Structure formats: structure tokens, C-alpha cells
Amino acid sequence: MRRGVIALDRIVGIVVSLALIAAGAIALSWWHEGARHQLTLPDRTDATWWPWATGGAGVLAVLLGLWWLTAHLPRRVNGRFNLSGDHQDGRLFADAHAAVAAAATDLSSLPEIRDASGRVVADRGELVADLQCTLEPGAELEKVHAAVTKAATDLHAVLGLPRLRHRVRLRVARNDRTTAPPRVI
């Protein structure tokens, strides 16, 4: 998803969850007879089941609003993962963020790739190594494909995480840095 869509989703999520929490709080205050005497409503509000129905609806709305808020919180990924194997002196850890950054640095050393960056994210329940590369306009795609495939294979070998997925985003730069005319100051 694009950042604008994610931001809109979070804003709508916060507004909806706050509205649900407010509706639940109003229903709960109704249940405690705080607002019943201030409004004139049909005779159904005098029924014995009405306070229980509004109280239950209020609790349900508050719980739904809280669930909505927690479901739309951004997910942070801890970059440290336990490595398997016997080690008598302690436990072994792998730093996935450092490994992905090293893979991006390795990719950016190629002449076809102007810039590369990477990070580890949680995307739809999966752990994803996300690499982003900016290519030179005249880059040979076969070389880029081979380099990216090797970087992803090396990343999986270094981390040893079977549930790790990878995504590589390639963008082409607008101008070729190698053939750009010199700037006169």
C-alpha cells in the first residue's frame, strides 16, 4: 500500500474507533440513567430490558472501538532472532535489520544500481525483507536480476529464518547520473 492510503486508513480507523468508544460511553451513561431523564423518547425506554440492552450495546461498542484501535496500530518488527544450534556459553542471535542493510549496501555498489535501502517489516502476518533499489536509466536488467537474486539468496542463508520472505522494489532514476552534463557554478 502507498503511504497516503495507509495514513487515510489510520485516520479513518482512529475516527471510527473514537466514535464507537463515545457511543459506548453514551450508552453506558444511559444505562446508569444519566441521560434518560434529559431526553424524551418513546415508551420503550421505560421497559425493564432497555437499560440492559443499552448497557450491552455500550460495552460492545467500547470493545469494538478498542479492537479497531489495536488492529490499526503500526506493527514494529524486532530485528533480533534466535539462531538454532547448540552453544554452551549462551544463545545466538541474528540481527535481521543489519543483514538487510548490508544486502542493500552490497547492491548499491553495482554500477547499475544508484541507491539501495532495506528493512524488515511485518506485512499481512509475514516477515518480509523489503529491499528498495533505484536503478540507473541505462541499467542492464539481466545484471540487476542476477544481483538481486544473489542478494536475496545470501540474505536467506545468513539469517536462516524459514518464514522470511523477500520483496525487491526496483525504481528507475529520472536522469542518468553518469551522462549528466557537468554543472557550472
Q: Which of 3-17, 40-54, 113-127 has the lowest mean pLDDT?
A: 40-54
What range defines the domain where residue 25 resides?
Answer: 3-71
Length of the chain: 185
Question: In this predicted model, what pLDDT tens digit does every residue of 151-182 receive, in sequence order?
Answer: 988 888 887 777 888 888 989 888 766 555 55
Same domain, 124 and 156: yes
Q: What is the pLDDT of residue 182?
A: 54
Is the residue at 182 inside a domain? no
C-alpha 142/C-alpha 134 separation (Å) is 15
Q: What is the pLDDT of residue 155?
A: 87
Same domain, 85 and 9: no
Domain termination residue (choose one: 19, 49, 71): 71
| pTM across the whole model | 0.53
Same domain, 124 and 100: yes
Of 64 and 94, which is predicted with more confidence?
Answer: 64
pLDDT band at 6 (very low <50, low <70, confident <90, very high): confident
Is the residue at 179 inside a domain? no
Q: How far is CA 162 from CA 48, 102, 122, 172, 173, in A?
A: 58, 19, 15, 31, 33
| Three cell numbers written together for 56 | 450491552
Of 145 and 57, which is predicted with more confidence?
Answer: 145
Same domain, 66 and 98: no
Residue 113, exposed/middle/buried by CB under 10 A (0-12, 13-18, 19+)? buried
Same domain, 98 and 130: yes
C-alpha 48/C-alpha 51 separation (Å) is 7
The closest of 90, 92, 91, 95 to 78, measured between CA atoms, is: 95
Given a cut of 90, is residue 146 above it in pLDDT?
yes
